[in-house]
Chain A
């Protein structure tokens, strides 16, 4: 497809379980971002990948959160030992990664519910 896709669209898990969220960026986009949006809140930056550079992990809230990206394609966000406060919509975005506006295009998100 032409846009950013994410899977699953919804995930319900039990507290303490690990989850993996997937993001497929727009083809040719070198930059990829993960954000978290809690109910009624704005977006909270988690992590950013740009080409082969070391990722900017400054937004990851704890060491239970990690993310990987294979080259300039798919990324997975992993949350270990999930807690109820992890419940949120996890949004992925990608951009060309060049200079200028470098507009970020968002996927539909994965709604994570931790029971």
Chain B
């Protein structure tokens, strides 16, 4: 069945790079998304990548996709305290519009 897995916690120092990893099982994924959830706030789309791409860069964010290993990562350069949040990986498969979500990675940024 469909499954998306993420590590639950990540702690980094301010100014370092953060790498959040995600694995998925469905090889028919079409789009993969990263969402950010801050305390008391709604889910915010950070970025997405189409399944025929290997990499996407957007300012401090770099998404890498390894289709062979079904592995997705989100790199945040120069991590700031404002980046502290829970980061969710989600996949969309085929023409199905519902998203399959990971449990989220809680990123703590220490000054």
Interface size on B, residues (CB 8 A): 22
Residue of A4, A33, A107, A108 touching B98 (CB-CB under 8 A): A33
A105–B97 touching, CB < 8 Å:
no
Bound complex: CA A108 to CA B50 (Å): 26
Q: What is the 8 Å Cβ interface bit string for chain A, positions 81-107, against chain B (1 contact, 0 not)?
A: 000000000010101010001111111
Report if A59-B98 is in contact (Cβ < 8 Å); known contacts: A42-B88, A42-B104, A108-B41: yes
A102–B97 touching, CB < 8 Å:
yes
A48 at the interface (CB under 8 A from B): yes
Chain A residue, CB-CB nearest to B5: A42
Residue of B31, B42, B48, B103 touching A41 (CB-CB under 8 A): B103
Binding site for A on B (CB under 8 A): 4, 31, 33, 35, 41-45, 48, 50, 88, 90, 92, 97-104
